[in-house]
Amino acid sequence: MELQHTDVIVIGAGTVGSMALWQLSKRPGLRVVGIEQYGRVHAHGSYAGESRVFRTAVHEGGTYVDMIRRSRELWHELERESGRSIYAEVGCLSIAPEGFPDLETAIGTVRQFDLPHRLLSTEELRAEYPQHRIADGDVGLLDAHGGGLRPEVAVMSALDLAEANGAELHVNTPVLEIEERSGGVVVRTPQQAWLARSVVVASGSWSTRLSPALHDLLRLQVLGLTWFMPKHPERYAPANFPAFLRDAGPIHFFGAPSFDGYSFKACTNPEWPVARDVDQVPTSHTRAELIKIGQRAAELFPEINPEPVRQSVHHCAYTPDRLPVVDRSPSGRVVTVTGLSGHGFKFSPQLGEWAAQLAAGDDLDA
């Protein structure tokens, strides 16, 4: 098979790959190819599911704050360039018992980095957010820069812009092999083979198939999503209902406002085992799981029908410390970004920017 020549190949056109393609395509004279094993935007990856929570008041502490600040700038830039609504900056409301460790860490983060926020008492939560059932002793943290992201729209927009800038995109094209050699990296698919100066591997849960060295580092965890119909859907519209994190004893829920006009997302994850490969991951909730999730959701949201009106199951690659992998091979020709650990979509623009810088031979800005 005759080799075709290009400058940079991005393998995986989802969460990180789409953003890397968008950034690489802005570099004058750079020939860029994206390869995606599924369609242009699809339901198989970790980004699918209508919305993702964006928050700057992170309970993981200050490690991510600079990444999130830069990503917020890039989300607005992606909206401007695409003309599409992607980032609903309606706030993110964390509710938990006073003194709850994650909430205390988030409060410490917003204070340390002077992030815009508001603290709410039990009485203020009940008065302003009747959509939530507020227990005695619950307090809130409203992250003013938080909100809901629309991931499918984001990925599509980044890919559209990349192609408009001259990038080449091949969909429904699995990568069979990556081979480093003198002079570049060979990437083989069933239809074609390329020789590139550098390659970005952004294949998410499939990363270990292309990079076996990651096998001992990454574990796949399941992410279950559920949507519920409230009695008064208008109360859950973005203008009235921030994205949220809820902690009530052993129960943890997260979710986003209604983007479809009749339901809102409220999710908690059953105790699913970790997996090594996507073929080992469940593809749906069981009936018993949906009943239990609905019962728990009804404890927190008094107006809902406890039967989920929609549900989906996804997977994501996790690292032991939940920090993403951003690495370059000894030759510098293969850049790998993976291990977003269930909370990485919000800072995917920054990860894509880093991947583009490394693939182009630059030093990182951060």
Q: What is the pLDDT of residue 270?
A: 79
Residue whose pair of structure tokens reads 């094993």 in the numeric block: 37
Q: What is the pLDDT of residue 97?
A: 98
Angle (nearest 5°) at CA 35 between 159 and 317: 90
Q: What is the pLDDT of residue 365?
A: 60
When pLDDT is averaged across residues 294-310 and rounded to a whole number, the result is 98
Q: What is the pLDDT of residue 276?
A: 87
φ, ψ for residue 152 (rounded to 5)? -65, -40
Question: Over the chain, what is the mean pLDDT?
Answer: 96
Statement: residue 339 has pLDDT above 60: yes
The span from the CA of 12 to the CA of 337, in Å, is 10
For residue 278, name the pLDDT band (cuts at 50, 70, 90): very high
Do 133 and 302 contact (CB within 8 A), yes or no? yes
Statement: residue 309 has pLDDT above 90: yes
When pLDDT is averaged across residues 158-187 and rounded to a whole number, the result is 97
Domains plus CATH for the chain? 3-47+152-211+324-359 (3.50.50.60), 90-145+219-318 (3.30.9.10)
φ, ψ for residue 53 (rounded to 5)? -75, 135
Q: What is the pLDDT of residue 271?
A: 80
Do 344 and 47 contact (CB within 8 A), yes or no? no
Residue 361 burial (10 A CB sphere; 0-12, 13-18, 19+): exposed
Residue whose pair of structure tokens reads 């293969």 in the numeric block: 334
What is each CA distance from 310 to 10, 264, 267, in whole angstroms?
33, 10, 11
For residue 205, name the pLDDT band (cuts at 50, 70, 90): very high
Distance from chain centroid for Cα 5: 32
When pLDDT is averaged across residues 99-119 and rounded to a whole number, the result is 97
The span from the CA of 203 to the CA of 335, in Å, is 11
Per-residue model confidence as pLDDT tens digits over 32-79 = 999 999 999 999 999 999 999 999 999 988 899 999 999 999 999 999
What DSSP designation does 289 have? Answer: H
The span from the CA of 256 to the CA of 361, in Å, is 38
**The pair of three-digit structure tokens given for residue 43, joined into one six-digit string:** 């339901």
Outline where 16-100 has alpha helix (H). 17-24, 65-82
Q: Is the Cα dihedral 144, 140, 298, 133 positive or negative?
A: negative
pTM: 0.97
For residue 364, name the pLDDT band (cuts at 50, 70, 90): confident
Distance from chain centroid for Cα 46: 7
Statement: residue 274 has pLDDT above 90: no
Smallest Cα–Cα separation from 210: which of 171, 178, 173? 178
Statement: residue 209 has pLDDT above 90: yes
Do 310 and 263 contact (CB within 8 A), yes or no? yes
Per-residue model confidence as pLDDT tens digits over 66-97 = 999 999 999 999 999 999 999 999 999 999 99
When pLDDT is averaged across residues 326-333 and rounded to a whole number, the result is 95
